[in-house]
Structure 1
């Protein structure tokens, strides 16, 4: 089983246990898999590394599942990843879910790309989704992707306005193009907002298998190093590892910026929330729900479905009153949002 954050509360640790793929009928009348089932049991999530309880990416997908269950009377399911699993393991997982009658079946994370491609070809009547990959071209696959760089740009604006040491940090979970987008947008937002601010960047691992997205201790150590070097705002795009970054920021009484979900509101991070300035969010919850809604309505979404600042797919959170009530920060954020939306600000992706 995956490792659970050592700063997670007991309730979250319990919730992070594997959810088995149990099935029973629902009120949905959507088409089922090519195995010939009469009913759609609901949607199915296959989690990425970090799994349920990461207070970030995977939990946002879970919120979309729960919303679909409530809206459509589904009895959906979600399945945890296993350490060291292969593409063959992922393929078997997706095919089993499709065969049981779940629709849509969503791989939560780019690592599912080969598995989604193969499973979708075998189950053409099932809609598949994949979060954070847009390379699969198939009539029954929706590529759920985001302009992460736009939300990260706004995070950079906030960091530049909040820093007093003129040094801020970025912690990336894994050194891959997806996370480079977070870093690029953040750096550009900082530089465009306040000249002379140094951005210190560090990636935790070269591959996801090394724990870059699932090791709070790695995140904590990286953040401590940046804080020792003068950073007083640290932004993490590192999944579960980001919890360690937030913990380190809280201990040092500096600002952390969360990612993917509104981490100020996460129960597992309650002890540290006063140190969470804002979060650069991407609406994975909405993407998961809307895909389920399209299947339920009989017109499944396919192709690239991209969330942006303009369509509400990415944003920054306002839950912390110190952020929401800071007129200087809010004015700078608003100006940046307008510039991105009207095209006068072109946000880099690398």
Structure 2
């Protein structure tokens, strides 16, 4: 039902944008279309869409903050199942023609579309989250050191396990998610070199549902728990909801990703099983880009990378069982300091 609803929302949003474009004249040469003036922030979601309690919802939080603090409107559009790059191009062009600036593609899959549309609308600032390959004059490549937060997640997992056996579940077998896995494994082994680690990717491609299928996440987690793991870290978007559900049902720990999943209302009944979450400040990245365009008049461009040093990545401490564990916190403090001073070099692959 959720997928049908998402497609319907996307269709309505597209139709609404088309009406707006028609009212504005419908071409990039129109004085109100793509001229750099902003009617607000445009946001186009990644696979899984809004409601994933993770990556996309973090971007939506940034849009909401921009609307509130900057006094502008925003337009956010859901993905459609099986869409092509051409579909993404059309979506971004509609936002540009409608006067939105900046326009942000949430996820690396938007890179080809952002590159194409940014060239066509040079007075509009575009953002791309989780990709640093576009590198155009009017594009901000918003990326993160996911491996650093994942290293800390690995330390936490190794400290929390009672079986010296933990797990990792990645949504899709791609280089971005390899960063999460690499940091997690390195962090866990820094605590216990002999720790056993289960590792699994749900799909080979995003089109197969690795980031959007809670059932796949649940099944994989059940398998890792059956194998003996008692702490499971996921980097799987919407599929991670299934990971957390399974962990709660088996009374083992889950570690969330991107947003503080302990605080997500849709996951409230599972929160006592969410040890922590490896955060990346997608909300802040979206807001800062919007502020740079709309308020400051000095648009961010180029590669902007979040790290432990600048607060772009971190671990959530909402769960008292995590926050009040003195031994775990001491280990995390030592690890974080090592990463920041360079004495710990975190693997990214």
Q: Same fold (TM over 0.5)?
A: yes
Take 1:54 and 1:172, find their aligned partners in 2: how far apart are those partners?
15
Matched residue SS, 2:330? helix
Pair 1:152-2:123 in alignment: no
Who is 2:195 aligned against? 197
Aligned length: 334
Take 1:84 and 1:136, find their aligned partners in 2: how far apart are those partners?
23
* 1:2–1:81 CA contact under 8 A, matched in 2: no
Take 2:2 and 2:313, find their aligned partners in 1: how far apart are those partners?
28
Out of 17, 30, 36, the position equivalent to 2:31 is 36
Unaligned runs of 5+ in 2: 21-27
Take 2:182 and 2:29, find their aligned partners in 1: how far apart are those partners?
42
Who is 1:315 aligned against? 314
Residues 272-314 of structure 1 show CA distances to partners (whole Å, capped at 9, x for unaligned) of: 0000000000000000000001102111000000000000000
Write 1 or 2 for the structure with the bigger share of helix: 2
Take 1:193 and 1:150, find their aligned partners in 2: how far apart are those partners?
15
Pair 1:257-2:250 in alignment: no
Pair 1:96-2:105 in alignment: no
Matched residue SS, 1:173? strand
Who is 2:303 aligned against? 304
Who is 1:9 aligned against? none
RMSD: 1.8
Who is 1:176 aligned against? 174
Superposed, 1:3-42 pairs within 5 Å as 3=3, 17-18=9-10, 20=13, 35-37=30-32, 39-42=37-40
Who is 1:348 aligned against? 347
Normalised to the residue count of structure 2, the TM-score between the two structures is 0.92
Deviation at 1:2, TM superposition (A): 5.9
Deviation at 1:193, TM superposition (A): 1.1
Take 2:3 and 2:54, find their aligned partners in 1: how far apart are those partners?
15
Superposed, 1:59-98 pairs within 5 Å as 59-98=57-96
Deviation at 1:41, TM superposition (A): 1.2
Take 1:311 and 1:94, find their aligned partners in 2: how far apart are those partners?
30
Unaligned runs of 5+ in 1: 5-12, 26-32
Matched residue SS, 1:76? strand
Normalised to the residue count of structure 1, the TM-score between the two structures is 0.92
Return closer, same or farther for 1:195/1:300 CA change in 2, 3 Å cut-off: same
Matched residue SS, 2:240? helix
